[in-house]
Amino acid sequence: TYIWVIFWFHLNQQKKKITKVHPPRLRGKSMGVFATRAPHRPNPLGLSLGKIIKIEKNVIWLEGLDLVDQTPVFDVKPFLPGFDHPADKSALWVDQT
């Protein structure tokens, strides 16, 4: 029902390396870029989980991806509930801020 999409943040032209960002949900507090979903990363790779709507020939129709139109996709991986859905799911480093 779901699929992981590995993509390139092609519109992020940030040249300077950013290690701290200010996510809106933290109301001005800063956090390390790896603990967020910010597009400002040391590499331009992104990962998004999409819901499969339908598959026609060699086209997969998805919804729920946090990508913009024409985003280059490098690879797709199946969502495997036994591996991608840990029982102790939490974002501890985010919850502690």
pLDDT single digits (tens) 77-86: 999 988 887 6
The answer on pLDDT for 97 being more than 70 is: no
Read off φ and ψ for residue 54, nearest 5 degrees: -165, 165
- The residues with which 4 forms a beta bridge, in sequence order, are 49, 77
- Helices (H) and strands (E) counted in the chain, each on its own, are 2, 6
What pLDDT does residue 95 have? 60
Give the mean model confidence (pLDDT) for residues 86-93.
63
Predicted model pTM: 0.72
Q: Considering only residues 32 and 95, tell me which one the structure prediction assigns the higher pLDDT.
A: 32
Which tokens sit at 85? 């859905």
Where does residue 74 rank: exposed (0-12), middle (13-18), buried (19+ CB within 10 A)?
Answer: exposed
